[in-house]
Amino acid sequence: MKRLGRIAGSTLAGAGALFIAVQINHPELTLEFVGSREFLIRESCKMLMAGLAAVGVLGLTVWHGRRIGALGVVAAVTFGSGYLAMLIVQAIAAFVLPSIVATSPDYVRDVLTAALGGRPAADIGGLQVLLGLSGVGYLAGGLLFGIALFRAGLVARWASALLAVATTSTVALAVLPTSFDRLFAIPAGIALVGIGWSAWRVAGAPRVAPRAGVVTEVVR
């Protein structure tokens, strides 16, 4: 089980680091950018980030499902499902949109508009559903999972609280300029790194028998 804890911790920390990294100097989502090599690289990194986050959330839940309780399990399923939906969206963005941007620019433009939280001019099909699932899973799942982890005291409480606040605070983007999109992602990335690092340390801490009445404690 310690190995599972370390896997969960390392994947969550990796997801958080990638989430922060892909925000740095991120160009605007335009048709020209969709056809570039940088777009493919960034979307591939986002795919990896979403996959790592889903694995980490699942692993952390299996590792200490009893401690986080029913709320934590429901939160993990919601949060993990949001990341799985995000992974599918990023895969479509990385490998499908560049191949049709020249022939169907209006559709690609509508997808980009929807991805930024706007209202597309035309129906974009199942992608709209996936974007909705991703958004709900990220917001509701992040809030509930952060609360469950905070209550359980399984990992660093500051990171758990930050996750709950950072994920739900993105609703403010509906009334803020799009330039804030990348900025609001950084606290969530820091929270994932903090949770992952804390879980990795707890899972790897050796169980040392107390000596001469000295009590040992793992500091998270």
- pLDDT per position as a tens digit, 132-189: 999 899 999 999 999 999 998 889 999 999 999 999 887 655 544 454 567 778 899 9
The amino acid occupying position 159 is A
Check residue 216 and give its pLDDT: 41
- Asked if residue 59 lies in contact with residue 65, where contact means CB atoms within 8 angstroms, the answer is no
Write down the pLDDT at residue 184.
76
Model pTM?
0.85
In the prediction, which pLDDT does 118 show? 82
HEC secondary structure over 18-36? HHHHCCCCCCCCCHHHHCC
| Cα-Cα-Cα-Cα dihedral sign, residues 72, 15, 181, 122 | negative
Choose among 106, 53, 120, 114: nearest CA to 89: 114
Rounded to whole angstroms, how far apart are CA atoms 38 and 138?
25
Q: Which residues contact 200 (CB under 8 A, 6 or more apart)?
A: 5, 6, 9, 10, 13
- Residue 175: count other Cβ atoms within 10 Å of its Cβ: 7
Per residue of the chain (220 residues), what is the pLDDT tens digit?
678 888 999 999 999 999 999 988 888 888 999 989 999 999 999 999 999 999 999 999 988 778 888 888 999 999 999 999 999 999 999 999 999 999 999 999 999 998 887 889 899 999 999 999 998 999 999 999 999 999 988 899 999 999 999 998 876 555 444 545 677 788 999 999 999 999 998 886 665 444 444 444 444 4
| Amino acid 214: pLDDT | 43
SS3 category, 198: helix
